[in-house]
Structure 1
Amino acid sequence: MIAFFIKRFFQAVVVMFVISLISFSIQDNLGDPLRELVGQAVSEEERQALRDEMGLNDPFLVQYVRFAKNALQGDLGESYFFKEPALEVILNKFPATLELVIGATFIIVLFSVPLGVYSAIKPQSVFSKAVMGFSIVGISIPVFLTAIGLIYLFSIELGWMPSYGRGETVEILGFWESGFFTQDGLEHLILPCFTLASIMLPLFIRLIRAEMMEVLQSEYVKFAWAKGISPRRIYFLHALKNTMLPVITVGGVQIGTMVAYTILTETVFQWPGMGFLFLEAVNRVDTPLIVAYLIVVGAIFVVTNTLVDLIYGLVNPTVKLAGR
């Protein structure tokens, strides 16, 4: 276990170095940040003086080394628009995005496991074929179109759900304002969470079905049938446990991906999270905030992948996390 952590730590350092280098290198292609900071009334001489003061005229390597030194101390720069540390601005929006990811993950687990297992056990039934048809449609529809459709149906036509905003929140743990614990907050969460879950739900239904059908054809399952073990025990103890191993691997990566996918969902629903903040930063050419967002999302990917490896080893003890 210690060897595994050491190995993954060095891998994470290399990955984060590459992410930071790429994120920092693209900022010159995003536009001139002084355009948003000072407008059109400032002369060219004053612009150049400001660029020198901000270090924007320094060579790329000098700028990156300065950025890397500050990043190691937790300083990812100061937002041009908010006049606050970029990391602090992102972390203030992170709980709202995390709520969407948690809600979407709960919906995915709640529906994908029983639907995938049932479709594998009875692949020829009408319901299974309907589920497979739904999954194909779900994979094909863009997330923003799903969001617009849900808003039109449940907010405009039926008037059941609010169409935008986060709703009422309460503070928990001293630092997190959550909408999970108020009725208004939950009502505002339902449509965005279902929209975000629609990206991954069809994928997981089909993945669980395919893996479950493969496991049911294995020799040890046939041996379990021959021993007279009850179908419930075979399906949900022997087969499902081994079915979940690749699902956990894919699921960990996709949960990290959902953090990035929240950009479209948060934009349609005007959800005050990291994704909506990122688009605003792009429109304002707030390069420190853009770079900080990309690094934070990259760090989330690295952490989730490491946790997936740990969970994989716990679910299947025969998997060695690290070699000799």
Structure 2
Amino acid sequence: MSVYLLRRLIQALGVVLVMSLIVFIGVFAIGDPVEILISPDADQIERERAIVALGLDKPLWLQYLSFLGNALRGDLGRSFVFNEPALQLILNRMPATLELAFGAMFLALLVGLPLGLYAGLKPNSPVSKGIMAGSILGFSLPTFWVGLMLIMVFAVQLGWLPSTGRGETREILGMRWSFLTRDGLAHMAMPALNLALFKISLVIRLTRAGVRETMLMDYVKFARAKGLSPARVTFVHVFKNILIPVVTVVGLELGSTIAFSVVTESVFAWPGMGKLIIDSINVLDRPVIVAYLMIIVLMFITINLVVDLTYSVLDPRVRLEGK
């Protein structure tokens, strides 16, 4: 296990280094932030002074080396717009995005696993067919449209839930969290559900396919022949063996949920990282864009490593170390 972890950490370091170069060149090759940040009435002297202050007068390779050296010290640059450390800006918004993403994935597992299990065990029943038809809707409906419909029904017409914002928060470990208060949970309900709809459909179909395939295996037939109860066959021999593909996809989807929650955060005015990156792109706030993308890369790498380690817990037959 230690050899495997060391090898994965070395691979992760290489991936981060390559991605930092790609992200840096890609972001800095787009537009000129001076044209947005400096008034058109400014003279050439003021423009030159601003370019030097922003560090844009140096060659691109020198800017990258400076960025890399500062990143090793935990400094990902200062925002052109807010004049604050880019990392600090992102960390201030991160709790809002993380609780929304984890809330969506929790709903996906809470709803998707039992529905997919039922649809797999009784595939020909009308309820199962209704579940699968509903999963197709979850895949097909646009996220922004569903969000607007949720606001119109539950906030405008029924008045049950607040439409926008994060609500009351409570501080733990220096971070503000919404799920710890009733008002925060009320504000979180609709955006989390909107973000979870696609994931619920995905978990339903994955679970159903896994159950249908596992039910045909010899060890399941043998367990039935031994006279084990249907509940024991389902939850011990079937359910445990379908978790590996589900965990794989859910782990990857968690990373994508964190990275691409932009639409949901925009619709519900949720003050997370997605809204920050959209605002930063509009004004070409390059340090914030680069810092955001680098943090997302680190999150994906960490999640993939955790998923791989979870394999050996779910199924001891999976060996992580290679010879």
After TM superposition, the score normalised by the length of structure 2 is: 0.97
Inter-partner Cα distance in structure 1 for 2:198 and 2:315: 28
Inter-partner Cα distance in structure 1 for 2:264 and 2:34: 30
Aligned to 2:66: 66
One-letter code of the match for 2:311? Y
One-letter code of the match for 2:199? M
Residue-pair matches, total: 323
Aligned to 1:163: 163
Q: State the 1:183 CA deviation.
A: 1.3
Aligned to 1:133: 133
Inter-partner Cα distance in structure 1 for 2:27 and 2:102: 31
Give deviations 1:80-110, integer Å, cap 9, x for gaps.
1111110011001000111101211110111
Q: Is the 8 A contact 1:143 1:265 kept in 2?
A: yes
Aligned to 1:108: 108
Q: State the 1:47 CA deviation.
A: 1.7
Q: Is the 8 A contact 1:212 1:243 kept in 2?
A: yes
Q: State the 1:297 CA deviation.
A: 0.8
Inter-partner Cα distance in structure 2 for 1:199 and 1:293: 24
Give deviations 1:163-201, integer Å, cap 9, x for gaps.
10000111123x121111211111000000001101211
Inter-partner Cα distance in structure 2 for 1:319 and 1:124: 33
Aligned to 2:189: 190
Q: State the 1:245 CA deviation.
A: 0.9
Matches within 5 A, 1:250-269: 250-269=249-268
Inter-partner Cα distance in structure 1 for 2:298 and 2:287: 16
One-letter code of the match for 2:270? W
Runs of 4+ in 1 over 4 A off after TM superposition: none
Give deviations 1:239-295, integer Å, cap 9, x for gaps.
000011111111111101100121111000000110011101011110100110001
Structure 1: stretches of 5+ with no match in the other structure: none
User: Between the two proteins, what is the percent identity of the paired residues?
Assistant: 45
Inter-partner Cα distance in structure 1 for 2:182 and 2:226: 51
Aligned to 1:152: 152
One-letter code of the match for 1:318? R
Question: Which stretch shifts more, 137-146 or 160-169?
Answer: 137-146
SS at 1:27 equivalent: helix
Aligned to 2:180: 181
Matches within 5 A, 1:274-289: 274-289=273-288
One-letter code of the match for 2:206? L
Q: Is the 8 A contact 1:196 1:261 kept in 2?
A: no
Q: State the 1:41 CA deviation.
A: 1.9
Aligned to 2:44: 44
Matches within 5 A, 1:222-237: 222-237=221-236
Matches within 5 A, 1:15-26: 15-26=15-26
Aligned to 2:83: 83
Aligned to 2:142: 142
Aligned to 2:205: 206
Structure 2: stretches of 5+ with no match in the other structure: none
Inter-partner Cα distance in structure 2 for 1:28 and 1:319: 43
Q: State the 1:49 CA deviation.
A: 3.8
Inter-partner Cα distance in structure 1 for 2:221 and 2:103: 38
SS at 1:31 equivalent: coil
Inter-partner Cα distance in structure 2 for 1:170 and 1:63: 39
SS at 1:188 equivalent: helix
SS at 1:51 equivalent: helix
Aligned to 1:30: 30
Q: Is the 8 A contact 2:23 2:290 kept in 1?
A: yes
Question: Which stretch shifts more, 131-140 or 18-27?
Answer: 18-27
Give deviations 1:111-148, integer Å, cap 9, x for gaps.
01100000000000111101100111110112111111
Over the aligned positions, Cα root-mean-square deviation in angstroms equals 1.2
Q: Is the 8 A contact 1:139 1:202 kept in 2?
A: yes
One-letter code of the match for 1:224? A
Question: Which stretch shifts more, 187-196 or 313-322?
Answer: 313-322
Aligned to 2:241: 242
Q: State the 1:53 CA deviation.
A: 4.2
SS at 1:107 equivalent: helix
After TM superposition, the score normalised by the length of structure 1 is: 0.97
SS at 1:177 equivalent: strand
